[in-house]
Structure 1
């Protein structure tokens, strides 16, 4: 009997807590508005990456591997003489070459890459022209160096927050109120790369003799770096 008498107050207390939680949830969403603001700027590309490759064919896979390695080692040795240029090995793969009936292997073909990266465009362009005497170009691309991007984003943070606050105040006044509070605010970065311009791409891609080396002339282009402020405000009752 004592247990039965206590059941009713406990049930009433549970119902009361559930009602209070629902009311609180509704109150938290009341007069809340989602906003988005953005600050951006154009940042010139200051990092250049060039991918060069060598590709050969031979009936003897061992001789083919030796030939490819010799060409790569020579290119790496030349590149490492310039400390301002970062040298990395790229993809390397070999595959069989079949006869016309695709039944018999008649040779082996191998391709290997070397990747060069630097913020010194002049030095890397000159080295690229030299290495194109023995290698071929697979790709040339430009980007914003990590340190430059971080500095640009840090400079845009305050602008993005100021833009968010200005928009929040505008919306608050449109609702006939003067005050608001920020419920949550997310800051994120993004970037849009504009294509680079190759001034003499036809000469960069052509096979060059040992007597002359053409230095690629390029315009690196730029990217749009932005900071997005995305959040929710709660407008005070007028």
Structure 2
């Protein structure tokens, strides 16, 4: 909690503004008088004396021209300063401003399960390795697409040379697929089936967007109530009756993306049992930070 002190008092700002307005009035009056001259100008000298001498501007005319330029410059400077004085007065109203912060949190379920599987081949022939990986991935995609509750995506196709005794000995070919489902049990069974031809790289857990949004909406309501209670408490403890909100920021801390431990299994024609999963819950935090200004009693 931060309490800011006044930098410039309001009476001082009001005095400076009055001085600026008085200066502008004096300058405008002076320029008007010198430009118009007396109400009855001399027929010989004109309002301020002879304008020209031998076809040239007289010294008086030149002096008046210089004076007028100076007055115009001074007037422009005052006009530029006056808005600044107003801004300073506005800034000076920042006294009795207090910054408050509140945080609320809740537990949300990890309702999305993500599995990463891959096919890998290593041998002397790049062509043979590519064909082997392609067959495994194609078969896995056909099996995964039969489950309407599971979305599938291919990822990271890689080929690189392998070495033995610091000499090229063959090629490594590898490709990944990504499976995602909001029915973890169904995806776990599918993963067990796909391990007949693929290896399991890991399991990830995530929070569905609509689950996170619903939790955030609830936290915003709770957070605003907590902020209001704290603002009222601070206002009362400082001997004031009212406050107004100057600004407010609302932000959430997204739940961390939890990645399961990589589980690599040797390929087996008999397949592998479905992995045991327990997604659990994660903590979602909402922070509200704002500035209030205490009002006079």
Determine which structure has more spread, i.e. the larger CA radius of gyration: 2
Alpha-carbon distance, 1:195 to partner = 5.6
Higher strand share: 1
Residue-by-residue CA offset, 1:189-233 (whole Å, 9 max, x unaligned): 1134496888xx9xx644464335312121102111122111111
Are 1:197 and 1:221, in contact at CA under 8 Å, matched by a contact in 2? Answer: no
Distance 1:10 1:114, change over 3 A: closer
Unaligned runs of 5+ in 1: none
In the superposition, the TM-score normalised over structure 2's length comes to 0.72
Are 1:53 and 1:138, in contact at CA under 8 Å, matched by a contact in 2? Answer: yes
Q: Which residue of 1 aligns with 2:232?
A: 169
- Out of 179, 189, 201, which is 2:242 matched to? 179
For this pair of structures, how many residues does the alignment match? 231
Are 1:177 and 1:236, in contact at CA under 8 Å, matched by a contact in 2? Answer: yes
Q: Name the Cα RMSD after superposition.
A: 2.2
- Out of 57, 69, 74, which is 2:134 matched to? 69
Residue-by-residue CA offset, 1:30-53 (whole Å, 9 max, x unaligned): 111111112211001100000011
In the superposition, the TM-score normalised over structure 1's length comes to 0.88
Is 1:222 the equivalent of 2:281?
Answer: yes
Is 1:25 the equivalent of 2:25?
Answer: no
Structure with more relative contact order (C-alpha pairs < 8 Å, separation 6 or more): 1
Answer with 30-39 or 2-11: which moved more: 2-11
Distance 1:22 1:106, change over 3 A: same
What secondary structure is seen at the aligned counterpart in 1 of 2:121? strand
- Out of 56, 60, 82, which is 2:125 matched to? 60
- 1:105-184 equivalences under 5 Å are 105-184=168-247
Alpha-carbon distance, 1:131 to partner = 0.9
Residue-by-residue CA offset, 1:98-147 (whole Å, 9 max, x unaligned): 230x2x42200111111100001111000011111221111101110111
Residue-by-residue CA offset, 1:157-200 (whole Å, 9 max, x unaligned): 211111111111111112111111111111111134496888xx
